[in-house]
Amino acid sequence: MQRLLTAADDTPRSPLVITPGCPQAHKQAGADLGFLDRHGVLTRGLREVMTHHILFLFNRLGISAADTWLLATAAVHVTFHHPFDTQTGYQPAGTTDSRVNAVNTSPTESGTSSAAVLRDQLVGTLEQRGHIRSATVERAFRTVPRERFLPGVDLETVYTRRQIVTKRDPNGAALSSASSPSLVADMLEQLAPRPGHRVLEIGAATGINAALLAELTSPGGKVVTIELDQDLADGARASLGRAGYDTVEVIRGDGALGHPAHAPYDRIVVTAGAWDISAGWWDQLADDGRIVVPLRVHESGLTRCFAFDRTAPHQLVGTTTPLVCGFVPMRGTAAHTDHHVRLDADVVLKLDATDQPDRAALSSALSHPRLERWTGIQVSDADPIGHLDLWLLVHTDRPFGRLGVGDTARTSGLVTPAYRWAGAAIYHGATIAYLAFQDVGNGHHELGAIAHGPDATTLATDLTNLLDQWDEAGRPNQPTVTAQRAGTRPAERGGISRSDTVLTISF
């Protein structure tokens, strides 16, 4: 970053010439930041990122901390308190409802924002971005003190819109976390619990979600939350008690089994990546109940959070648009291992073992040169096309997979999948083809395929043909999803079979 900021021009010795990949990497980083911010998973807000760059420049220019404070205060005042122009009708973005604070507005205010202020700011952001849509969910978010459930975590982090990992295994993999508030709000809107409802939560974690559910089902409701690990269950119980939610029942047990003692449940919500809708959940959901569950619909880890209503004893029907999401996988009896093939030190192809991949052949795919095919189909980040990867899974005749690509492989240009759809790809033998973007300006990208392997031309053509079909069909983004209890009727062609459930997805 320093080399770029100090580059004056494109002279032969300029960093812009010596490291020609830096400007494009910087541009791509900006695009990625924008995408992450729009989807509520950015660790730090865009304004915070830009502020650090500005402060870096101020420091390099020798501007004092006092003068920086004056500039920031003036900028906030001008940007967010400029009067509405009645002649032109122009009103700068955020003039009436922005909750953005000045950067270092005084030497004594830094880091002392109260939890209540930060909570209101978070709720405002979640409303603005469409994650909170109902008055009941808004009230619950404004009421529950998140900081009581995350002891030892600073307030700024507690009230960010990102996941906070609270427990890891010895290898560093996440075992439990406080989910992103954006996703929590989305799932509560899907669940739509009401006062008096009995709710079963699978995955207590910190207890935050159980507290929100207690608010939403009060008065007269009952919330039962299950956690596999004793330490997590104890921690959630203690936090709920500190926050005044002592009516929530915390159970240490295997979530896949549910808790029949308080069944039937009007609502069941699962806060871990599930491989199946378990028999226990089928048995314990009320006749007119709803279950919200993040289902891994493919062994590559492709996951969607579905809201299912029970329409018959052995049938569930999806009622809302599924959420694109990622969750810590369920453990216990419902644990399921994903499979992958390593293509490079920094690249893996996640796939389904039932497709019987030729692992040895696939591992050599990236030794072949890349072949690019572009479709002319243009998309933007704002387009509602988040389920393209799910559409491909349903419609392709080739085995489906997803590329896991590290920073080194991406920045070197070895593998450059589109930053949406988590590296969605198809493969055959020793060849892979994956979804790719190329920038065409004005915030738009052209969709295409990049292939590696001896049959690169064939697979790239297959993938671009699928993209043409998707485009000609009107870019469908609303899947119809039905879950049937396994063994209750013959499986339909194309059904996704699990031990307890057969899932049918169509567009």
Catalytic residues: 179
Token pair listed for 55: 């402060």
Q: Is 294 helix (H, G, I), strand (E, B) or coil?
A: strand
Token pair listed for 200: 């079963």
Collect all residues with Cβ–Cβ distance below 8 Å to 24 and sequence separation of at least 6: none
Q: CA dist 65 to 55, 61, 69, 88, 105, Å?
A: 9, 12, 6, 37, 11
For the four alpha carbons of 230, 236, 239 and 240, in that order, the dihedral sign comes to negative
* Interior angle at CA 454, CA 453 and CA 460, nearest 5: 65
Token pair listed for 259: 């808790």
Nearest-angstrom CA–CA distance, 503 and 295: 10
Cis peptide before 264 (omega within 30 of 0): yes
Q: Is 469 helix (H, G, I), strand (E, B) or coil?
A: helix
Q: CA dist 2 to 7, 15, 16, 56, 477, Å?
A: 9, 10, 12, 9, 42
Tokens 């159980």 map to which residue?
210
